[in-house]
Structure 1
Amino acid sequence: MGEVDKRNRLEEAPFSYGVTKHHTIFIDYEGKQVKQLKGKDAEKLLSKIEMAQDEKAVQLLLAKITGNFKRGNERSARNRGKS
């Protein structure tokens, strides 16, 4: 897994998840919700999480399922309106 996480960002465990009684999964990144899964997708992810070897493997699963939601424009959006 060393090639996947070259900058060791998953060591900090930025992802977390919660499961409702209706088997809906909410995935958070640094405390902010970024993804919601229902149905077969949620069941598939839960089974993979149960088979994961350690916390870093769970973090990798959550990172992959959320996709590339950070595009690099966060800084410009934050600074928008400032002259």
Structure 2
Amino acid sequence: MGEIDKRNKLMEEPFTYILTKKATIIIYFNNKQIKVVKEIEAERLIKRLKDVENNILEVQLLLAKITGNFKHGNEKVNKKK
């Protein structure tokens, strides 16, 4: 995992998810909803999450991969002057 998470950001557990009754997965990043996974993709993700549920880093990595490239690090933070 060293090569994948060089800055150890996944150790902070930024990703969380909720599994709904309709087998839809809602993924959050720092308590903000960023993706909803439905149908076949959700079924595959649920299976993969169950396989690695005891390994927090693997769960975080799966959630990071499924969300895609949404955060580049160059976003501006709203600052009050």
Does TM, scored on the shorter chain, surpass 0.5? yes
Q: CA RMSD in A?
A: 1.6
Q: Report what 1:2 is aligned to.
A: 2
Rg (Cα) greater in structure: 1
Structure 1 letter corresponding to 2:46: L
Q: CA deviation at 1:70?
A: 1.4
Unaligned runs of 5+ in 1: none
Tell me the SS of whatever aligns to 1:74.
coil
Number of residue equivalences:
79
Q: CA deviation at 1:71?
A: 3.2
Unaligned runs of 5+ in 2: none
**Aligned partners of 1:66 and 1:59: how far apart in 2?**
11
**Aligned partners of 2:40 and 2:25: how far apart in 1?**
11
When normalised by structure 2's length, the TM-score is 0.89
Structure 2 letter corresponding to 1:41: E
Structure 1 segments of 4 or more deviating over 4 A?
none
Q: Report what 2:69 is aligned to.
A: 68
